[in-house]
Amino acid sequence: MDTITCIRTFITVVDEQGISAAARKSGASKTAVSKTIAHLEESLGVRLLHRTTRNISLTEVGRSYYERALPILDQLCELEASVHVAQAVGDLHISAPVTFSELHLMKVISGYNKRYPKVNINLRLTDHFVDIVKEGIDVAIRIAELPDSSLVARKLAPVRIVACASGAYLQEYGTPKTPEELLNHQCIIDTNLRSSFRWRFKRDDEHITVNIDKGIRTNGSRAVHQLLREDCGISLCPTFVVGDDIKSGKLSVILEGYESYELGLYIVYANRKHLSTKTQCFIDAVLTHFEENSDWKM
């Protein structure tokens, strides 16, 4: 016998001042209501209702139980309702970086959409910084060195940015051995990167910065990627873009002894007491997906 049903039934009986009345109200049979109350009383070992053959009245214990059970039941209902899958409705505003999302996020989005079709996904792709509170963003995917400390941020995967070029290019122009040698090469500059013209490297705790000021400039990682594949030069690229090509040998990582940028992929959301179910579910889908599915880590 479900305890919550028992309590709820008891409360209905009290409110309706009668077992038959409660039965009519709740749609159950008199029998069921009567038995339910009896069961509740038995499990508590206390009489909650005085019965005459004609009507019922509250026991002292019953009155106290009623008053105290009511708010608890309310809390439980609220919890249940807020968690219930039916709550996964409405709009879900997501902010995410362009190229990364096109390459790796869409699988999560589509899976989420299939599972929670009542959620209107609003995916805003941008590589600019977005104030998620101001913009009304529920959840954001970010690539950054350190996440915004005023928000909840959970790391999904590391993001390495490596210097690379095609085999054909390297064969023609040679492979630089130190960052400084990059100055003598065709460089492709992704102006989306924070410090596009200052290429930073690190070796044995020594920081090396090279100012690249000539070469093709573009603001799209995909464009950079294409140029790399077309043997146009050397560029800094996130592994999640060039990973496949590196694995297949089409592109090669150079300056491997030097550590390049080490960024992180984060999922970020506002620090509220209770996230909505749709948001929680999305966070969960993302977490799960990138636990198993970040093969660009290499």
Partner DNA sequence: AGGACCGTCCTCAAATCAGAAACAATCAAA
Partner DNA sequence: TTTGATTGTTTCTGATTTGAGGACGGTCCT
Contacts of residue 222, Cβ cutoff 8 Å, sequence gap at least 6: 99, 102, 241
CA-closest candidate to residue 207, choices 157, 265, 262: 262
**Interface mask toward a second copy for 80-109; x: CB under 8 A:** x--xxxx-----------------------
Pairing of strands 49-51, 56-58: antiparallel
Pick between residue 73 and residue 151 the one whose CB is nearest to DNA: 73
Cα separation, 235 vs 227, in Å, equals: 9
Pick between residue 95 and residue 279 the one whose CB is nearest to a second copy: 279
Residue 224: CB minimum distance to a second copy, A: 35
Pick between residue 55 and residue 211 the one whose CB is nearest to DNA: 55
Q: Are 188 and 232 in contact (CB under 8 A)?
A: yes
The reply on whether position 54 binds a second copy by CB under 8 A is: no
- For residue 221, the number of C-alpha atoms closer than 13 Å in the C-beta half-sphere is 22
The reply on whether position 288 binds DNA by CB under 7 A is: no
Residue 66: CB minimum distance to a second copy, A: 11
Cα separation, 174 vs 155, in Å, equals: 37
Q: Which does 54 bind (CB under 5 to 8 A by kind): DNA, a second copy, none?
A: DNA
Residue 11: CB minimum distance to DNA, A: 15
Which pair of tokens denotes residue 174?
Answer: 């040679």
Q: Which does 55 bind (CB under 5 to 8 A by kind): a second copy, DNA, none?
A: DNA
Q: Which does 30 bind (CB under 5 to 8 A by kind): a second copy, DNA, none?
A: DNA
The reply on whether position 2 binds a second copy by CB under 8 A is: yes
Which pair of tokens denotes residue 169?
Answer: 């290019």
The reply on whether position 75 binds a second copy by CB under 8 A is: yes
The reply on whether position 270 binds a second copy by CB under 8 A is: no
Residue 38: CB minimum distance to DNA, A: 6
Pick between residue 75 and residue 178 the one whose CB is nearest to a second copy: 75
Cα of 242 vs its chain's centroid, Å = 24
The string over 8-47, giving b where at least 16 C-beta atoms fall within 10 Å of a residue's C-beta and e elsewhere, is bbbbbbbebebbebbbeebebeeebbbebbebbbeeeeee
The reply on whether position 274 binds a second copy by CB under 8 A is: yes
CA-closest candidate to residue 73, choices 85, 81, 63: 81
Q: Are 161 and 261 in contact (CB under 8 A)?
A: yes
| Direct distance between the N- and C-terminal alpha carbons of the chain, in angstroms, rounded to an integer | 54
The reply on whether position 59 binds a second copy by CB under 8 A is: yes
Cα separation, 244 vs 253, in Å, equals: 12
Pick between residue 34 and residue 221 the one whose CB is nearest to DNA: 34
Angstrom distances, CA of residue 258 to CA of 176, 203, 225, 241? 12, 5, 21, 20
Q: Are 40 and 10 in contact (CB under 8 A)?
A: yes
**Interface mask toward DNA for 41-60; x: CB under 7 A:** --------x-xxxxxx----
Residue 61: CB minimum distance to a second copy, A: 5
* From 8, 11, 21, 151, residue interacting with DNA (rule: CB under 7 A): 21
Q: Which does 39 bind (CB under 5 to 8 A by kind): DNA, a second copy, none?
A: DNA
- Interaction site with DNA (CB under 7 A): 1, 5, 18-21, 28-32, 34-39, 49, 51-56
